[in-house]
Amino acid sequence: MINTGEVIVNNDVIKDEAVQVHENNNVVLKNKKLIARKSRYLMVHKPLDTVCSNIDESHPSVFNYISLNNVSDFHIAGRLDADTTGLVLITDDGRWSFNIISPNKRCEKIYRVSLRDDITDDVVSRFNNGIQLQGEKLLTLPAKLEILSRKEVLLTITEGRYHQVKRMFAAVGNRVHRLHREEIGGIRLNIDLGQWRYLTEDEIALF
């Protein structure tokens, strides 16, 4: 229909399907104005041994838990490893997710971390001062560590480097046993494992 000139954008016939259109453009097909549907914003409580991918890979995709049409339109705003559980945000709004994943936005993510060994008191200040990760030149940005017990902590970071949480604890001689994301930028996980829900207007407005 585009190639035959049936689509009009801002009163011009457009025959190039690569042309981008935006929500403020006037798009007409066969004399009928097209209205873009609203973007969708979801949270999912990711189970263990699932992958943050639109398709099944070595483990099943987290999208298998979402009962919506056109799931392929979605993308994940901040992935989790297969062996990590917790909060995953999913949307089809790229500008919204950019505010979550862009390093410049310094979006806080809170993880509950279970450790192999007892945590030492000096790790709090070391994380706050930045950690030298193996194979990287720059220190991590300051991270907040709250000790819940000798082997369980809450960690708040504002970056998303490759396997960052696991590598941070490895750098101080410990090992992550279990990892669970509880919060992203003020959006708290509050649904059961394997469930999903739409975000509220207040949650969407955080980004």
Residue given tokens 């035959």 in the structure block: 4
Catalytic-residue membership of 81:
yes
Among 98, 65, 106, 73, which residue's Cα sits nearest to residue 197? 65
Name the strand (E) or helix (H) holding 64: none
Which region holds residue 105: left if phi is over 0, alpha if psi is between -120 and 50, else beta? alpha
Contact 112, 177 (CB under 8 A): no
**Torsion 70-72-73-74 (CA) sign:** positive
In our burial notation (b when 16+ CB lie closer than 10 A, e otherwise), range 145-171 reads beeeeeeebebbbbeeeeebbbbbbeb
Task: Report the SS3 class of residue 153.
Answer: strand
Per the residue annotation, which of 81, 83, 121, 192 is the catalytic one? 81
- Residues assigned a catalytic role: 81
